[in-house]
Amino acid sequence: MHVITDPHQLRTLCWEWRCRGDKAALVPTMGFFHQGHLSLMRWARQNSDRVVVSLFVNPAQFGPGEDLDSYPVDWERDRDLAEQAGVDLLFLPEASALYAPAHATWVEVPELSAPLCGRTRPHHFRGVCTIVAKLLLLTLPEVAVFGQKDWQQLAIIRRMVVDLGFPVRIEGRPIVREQDGLAMSSRNAYLDEELRARAPLLYAGLCRARQWADRERDPKALLLSLRQWYEREIPEARIDYLELVDPDTLARVETLDRSALLAAALHLGRARLIDNLLLGHTQ
C-alpha cells in the first residue's frame, strides 16, 4: 500500500493508473476507522482496479467550538486496517498542503446545505464540498464512495458532481451498525460507558416511528410522538433535530404518501449523534 502525504505525488500516481486503463475508486474519510469505513473500502476493492482512501480531518468543515482539536486519531491502526482491506493508496495530507494561506474558493450547494445538520452547522457542507471537489480533481476516480449514514452529505455531493460536471459516479452505501443498532461513528468514542448504553435508543426510536408510520400518516404528528418518546426514554439527550424530508431534495414532506427520510440528530454528552431511516422502503 502506498502512503502518500504530498498531493502532487497523489495526482501523479493516480494519473499513471488512469493512463494504464485502471479504474479507481476514492473513499474520502476523516479516519479512526470502524466497520462503516471498512465496508466502503471493501466495496471499492470489489468494484474497482485501484482503491484510494483519503484520511484528512478537514478543518474547513468544523465550526468554532466544534471538535476539530479533539477528533479521535489513530493513524497506525488506520494504516493497518486500510492495508488489510486491500487499499492501494492511503492519502494522509497536512492541512497546509491542501489549503494555501491565500485559499479563497469555496464550493457550495446552499439549498441542500441549509436544512437538517446545516441549521446548527452553517459552514459544514461548504467545507465538505470544497474538500471533496479537491480530492476528486487530484485523483480523477471513476467512482467515489460515501456512506448513507451522512445522507445529507451524500445528497449534496450528488448534486455537486452533476452541477459541476465531475466525470465521476457517486456510490452510496448502507449504514453499518453495532449489534445493538447504534450506527458506527468515529464520534462514538466520545461516549462513556453509561451514555454508550443509552445511545442505541436513537435508532430504536427511528424504528418505532417507522412502525407508527403504518397508521400515522401526518409527518407533524409522527415527529411529535417521536420527540415525546425520546424525551421520555432518553431524557439525558438534547434533540438537535427530528425531520421527515424528501430523500433527494431534503425538503420537509407534508404527507407520507411517498418514500421519506426520517433523520435525527441528538447530543448525548460530548457526542452529537446522527442517524436516519428511509420510510416507505426496506433498508
Catalytic residues, which ones?
Answer: 37
Using the rule CB under 6 A, give the single segment among 14-22, 171-179, 224-232, 233-241 that binds ligand AMP. Answer: 171-179
Distance (Å, whole) CA 245 – CA 261: 5
Of the candidates 4, 44, 183, 256, which one interacts with ligand AMP according to CB under 6 A?
183
Say whether residue 175 binds ligand AMP (CB under 6 A). Answer: yes
Interaction of residue 188 with ligand AMP, rule CB under 6 A: no
Indicate whether 152 belongs to the interface with ligand AMP (CB under 6 A): no
Closest by Cα among 239, 281, 229 to 264 = 239
Nearest Cα to Cα of residue 232 among 268, 256, 205, 259:
205
Which ranges in the chain belong to alpha helices (H)?
A: 7-20, 35-47, 75-84, 95-98, 110-113, 117-120, 124-139, 151-164, 193-198, 201-212, 219-233
Spatial CA neighbour of 107 closest among 167, 53, 60? 60
- Report the alpha-carbon distance of residue 188 to residue 168 in Å, rounded: 31
Q: Does 93 bind ligand AMP (CB under 6 A)?
A: no
For helices 201-212 and 219-233, the axis angle rounded to 10 degrees is 150
Which residue has 469555496 as its cell numbers?
106
Stretch that binds ligand AMP, among 1-9, 37-45, 70-78, 244-252 (CB under 6 A): 37-45
Which member of 37, 196, 198, 272 binds ligand AMP (CB under 6 A)? Answer: 37
Residue selected from 126, 149, 196, 272 as contacting ligand AMP according to rule CB under 6 A: 149
One residue of 10, 30, 41, 156 binding ligand AMP per CB under 6 A: 30
Q: How far is the CB of 132 from ligand AMP (least distance, A)?
A: 10
Site for ligand AMP in 229-268 (CB under 6 A): none
* Min dist. Cβ of residue 256 to ligand AMP (A): 25
Calculate the alpha carbon distances from 273 to 112, 193, 266 in Å.
Answer: 20, 15, 5
Question: Considering beta carbons, is residue 18 or 42 the nearer one to ligand AMP?
Answer: 42
Q: Calculate the alpha carbon distances from 229 to 45, 80, 234, 262, 265 in Å.
A: 41, 41, 8, 15, 14
For ligand AMP, the binding residue among 186, 213, 263, 264 (CB under 6 A) is 186
Report in angstroms how near the CB of residue 277 gets to ligand AMP at its nearest.
13
- Interface residues with ligand AMP (CB under 6 A)? 29-30, 36-37, 39-40, 146-147, 149-150, 173, 175-176, 183-186
